[in-house]
Amino acid sequence: MTFGFAPASAAASTSAASANRLLEPAEWAAAGIPLLRNPREVVSGLHARHHPQPATAVIAVLDPDERLRASASFVRRPAPADGWMFRNVLLAQLRRIIPHDLRRRTPVRTAVLLYCREGDARWTEEDGAWMWGLRDACTLHGLRCGAFITLTRDGWQVLGEGRGGRRPHSASEPEPFATSEAPPPLPRTGGAASEVLRRAAAAR
């Protein structure tokens, strides 16, 4: 393999090709990306761990039960959005945080990407480049390509699925890590048992 500078005649074709290294929401939805069972829990957990600010990407690997196995965050460099470049940086992060699964016949673990950015929740060409990069990086690392989630001032949104929420958002304070991991409180119950507990508490 040789490396060098592309001649001037090839520069235009390279630029044109990079414009195609993105995925539209319809293409993404048609690709059979697995749905998250509890997207808000995934988003809140990554937000609590990495405290993303605008221009921050968080790549995470989930096991089949949607438990987090590894994650990393990094700030996107100011440069034109290019799926090939995004693929390279995502692949480098994946190689750093978790071994590949290329020996498996079928991918078991899933990679998801959370990207915090300015603007509203509508799809942008930058989002499309991240989608292209995530799909390609997953293929090269032996992972299933999972959800692409944007975090903006409007809240979070799983692109291509139409699911989202208002919190967390790009300016919200992250929940305490312990709180985000804690099980939900037990539901209140009525009846005799509650009455016994109420009396016991009053007698203290």
Is 14 a residue whose pLDDT tops 50?
no
Is 58 in contact with 113 (CB distance < 8 Å)?
yes
Q: Quick one: pLDDT at residue 195? A: 43
Nearest by Cα to 144 from 88, 85, 100: 100
What ranges in the chain are assigned the alpha helix state H? 8-19, 25-30, 39-50, 83-97, 125-141, 177-181, 192-203
Q: How does 11-20 read in b/e, with b if 16+ C-beta sit within 10 Å?
A: eeeeeeebee
For residue range 118-169, list pLDDT tens digits in order: 999 899 999 999 999 999 999 999 999 999 999 999 999 999 888 989 999 9
Nearest by Cα to 156 from 70, 75, 74, 38: 38
For residue range 37-71, list pLDDT tens digits in order: 999 999 999 999 999 999 999 999 999 999 999 99
Q: Quick one: pLDDT at residue 74? A: 97
Check whether the bond before 168 is cis (ω within 30° of 0): yes
Output the CA torsion sign for 119, 85, 128, 56.
negative
% of the chain beyond a pLDDT of 90: 60
Q: Which of 26-35, 56-65, 82-91 has the lowest mean pLDDT?
A: 26-35
Distance CA 173, CA 127 (A): 24
Q: Quick one: pLDDT at residue 5? A: 32
pTM for the predicted model, two decimal places: 0.77
